Structure 1
Amino acid sequence: MHYFVFSIIGIATGFLMAIFGIGGGAFIVPALDVAFLIVPNLSHPPFQLIVIGSLCTIVIGSLPRAIKVVSGHQSERTTATILILNALPFILLGSFLATQLTDNILRLGFSVTIAAIGIWTLIGKSPTIKNSESIQKYSPCKLVVVGAISGISSALFGLGGATLLMPLLTMWVGLPISLCVDISILFVSVTSIVSLVTLSSAWIGVHGANSITPEIITLILILGISAAITQIIAAGKLVKMNNQLRQKLLGGYLIILSLWVIARALI
């Protein structure tokens, strides 16, 4: 029964990820939260373990696509490398902080981050679609800031992919959307692996390996793999949605999600 429920929630989550063209903490974290909440006689894991489960899913879904990006344009690899190198110290910092902060503080931090992105997405101006050849001159300092924000957000909340990186790179840094997609995939794959390893190690170092039961690992993997596979299959088959409408719907979803997480923290 547990496995069936987690599979169904994973499939539904995968469809949402495919519709909005993003996949990661903004969908997997609340999906895992809901799944553990609605299944009877199942202990709810700490928020840190839910983030670890989200990172597992991101790695599974992004790694095959990231390998293809590596053989792409030099400009994409260079920009992604700058972001990754600036993110690594903050991933280590975030992994340490995640073991020291309480469950409620992490949930509130997640909700504030998601709400800020949601409001920006909802009322912000859609970036002009450009070809990768028409790259504007951008400030390297902005890439440093984006890398730092994405790195610490990835380790603390499982966020740092397209939900956070795409609006920052397009609407703030000024990179073309076509370039940002590949940069985001490569960045997310590498930083998620690092975040997963460092956060898991930090958690086990503080709480011990017995704090992560085989049942929790199995259920998280079932939901994550179901979502990742569904997203891959559905991404090319769903009806195309107007970009402006997609942006507004995504912004509304993120704001509603932030309210849900706040409510869960206060219960």
Structure 2
Amino acid sequence: MEYGLLALIGLLSGIVGALIGLGGGVILVPSLLAFFPELSPQRVVGLSVIAMIFTGLSSVLSYIKVKTVDYRSGFIFFAGSAPGTVLGAFVNKSLELPAFNLYFGILLVVLSALLLLRGRLQPVGWFVRRGQKRSFTDPQGKTYTYGYPVWFALLLTFGIGFASGLFGIGGGSILVPAMILLFLFPPHVAVGTSMLMVFLSAIVNSITHISLGNVPWLYAAAAVPGAYAGAKIGASLNKRLNSDVLVTILRIVLLILGIRSIFEGIW
């Protein structure tokens, strides 16, 4: 029964993660904390980062086929996030469950606010004007111009990587809104490029958590196939659907889970 639940949680996290470029950890981590209290925060994070390797790989392969991955940007973002994930993983060692719940809850509330504001804030062109410009033409013939200063991208993704290593999230939940609002990425390219960074960062993140003994392999074996299959579904849906409804649902769920986690951390 519990392995079936793990597979279902993995499937849902893979679908949502690949569809919006989040990586899936924002679904997987709070679900594991809620339904599997026998797992410590460290083991929950360890399981999540293993699942993110397969979520990232599955979705990136799908996005490569439709040519919505900016490889240069993906590797620059990875260069910033990789050291951050290692630092976050080591800081994670010292977190007790109440503190983890509190800080993770605050992060979920912030992510919910980012998703809420993503569609309402006006894009900022300052970073594009001061960075190397790139262009992308979508299948409808619309051309986007986007860009960023490399130094700022490295600083931003270092912080995102730290949060990923600390909490087991993919980092795309922060990176995708930043790419769209600050760097003016076209949404589909933002998602595809984010998943490349999630995949590469998850490999580094996983090596660190494996070395720390944080991975519950039997639980991971049940969740990973669902996450891989879910990522395939999510990437396919991304090409066909307007994800506004899902984003609305997700931000409400994140807000509820975040408030719940904060209360558990305080009381």
Please give the TM-score of this superposition, normalised by the length of structure 2.
0.78
Larger proportion of helix: 1
Instruction: Give the match for residue 258 of structure 1.
Output: 258
Identical aligned residues as a percent: 22
Aligned in 2, Cα 1:162/1:10: closer, same or farther, shift over 3 Å?
same
Instruction: Give the match for residue 225 of structure 2.
Output: 225
Deviation at 1:192, TM superposition (A): 0.5
Counterpart-to-counterpart distance in 2, 1:66 and 1:32 = 25
Instruction: Give the match for residue 27 of structure 1.
Output: 27
Greater shift in the superposed pair: 221-230 or 84-93? 221-230
Contact 1:24 1:55 in 2 (8 A): no
Greater shift in the superposed pair: 181-190 or 60-69? 60-69
- Picking from 46, 53, 74, the partner of 1:52 is 46
Instruction: Give the match for residue 245 of structure 1.
Output: 245
**Where does structure 1 lack aligned partners over 5 or more consecutive residues?**
38-43, 205-210
Greater shift in the superposed pair: 109-118 or 189-198? 109-118
Q: 1:54-95 CA deviation, whole Å, 9 max, x = no partner?
A: 111111121244357679979822111211111222222112
Aligned in 2, Cα 1:257/1:86: closer, same or farther, shift over 3 Å?
same
Counterpart-to-counterpart distance in 1, 2:98 and 2:243 = 35
Instruction: Give the match for residue 144 of structure 1.
Output: 154
Deviation at 1:182, TM superposition (A): 2.2
Aligned in 2, Cα 1:227/1:186: closer, same or farther, shift over 3 Å?
closer
Counterpart-to-counterpart distance in 1, 2:66 and 2:179 = 19
Counterpart-to-counterpart distance in 1, 2:118 and 2:263 = 26
Q: How does 1:120-199 map onto structure 2 within 5 Å?
A: 120-125=114-119, 131=137, 133-199=143-209
Contact 2:58 2:232 in 1 (8 A): no
Counterpart-to-counterpart distance in 1, 2:69 and 2:22 = 22
For these two proteins, the number of residue pairs brought into alignment is: 250
**Where does structure 2 lack aligned partners over 5 or more consecutive residues?**
124-135
Query: Higher relative contact order by CA 8 Å / sep ≥ 6: 1 or 2?
Result: 2
Larger proportion of strand: 2
| C-alpha RMSD of matched pairs (Å) | 3.2
Contact 2:18 2:24 in 1 (8 A): no
Deviation at 1:253, TM superposition (A): 1.7
